[in-house]
Amino acid sequence: MRGIQQNHVDIAKLLVSHGANLQEVNSSHENVFHILALAIADQKDKEAAEKYLAMATWLRTKARTGHPGRLEALLQGRDVREQTPADYLEGTSASEALREIFALPPPPSTS
């Protein structure tokens, strides 16, 4: 979580490759997407927030890969205040591209 919060993509990748669990939560029931959203929300402007785009893209891909339902569970996770990661971005300078990363994926097509 600290690597994600500090936008250290390489450190986060290394830790995950050595077994760091993306599904862990802290004492406030925040998961890695909550932590990432908090870091983005702390940025003063859109340009600063955009520096987290690579981390957000990697995290979404990693959460989806090989674990059906994990991405959805992380994005729907609620902290002790009943907020989801996307809720943390309300009223921030996050771009539409960043907001889309925190959106639930569309359901699979049945046709």
Q: Could you report the per-residue pLDDT of 19-73, keeping only the tens digit for each?
A: 899 999 999 999 999 999 999 999 988 999 999 999 999 999 999 988 889 999 9
Superfamily of domain 2-101: Ankyrin repeat-containing domain (1.25.40.20)
Q: Tokens for 91, please give them.
A: 């009223």
- DSSP 8-state assignment for residue 94: -
Positive or negative: CA dihedral 77, 82, 85, 86: positive
Positive or negative: CA dihedral 54, 88, 100, 30: positive
- H/E element holding 86? helix 85-88
Q: Where are the domains of the chain?
A: 2-101
Identify whether the C-beta of residue 71 lies closer than 8 Å to the C-beta of residue 64.
yes
Please tell me the pTM assigned to this model: 0.90
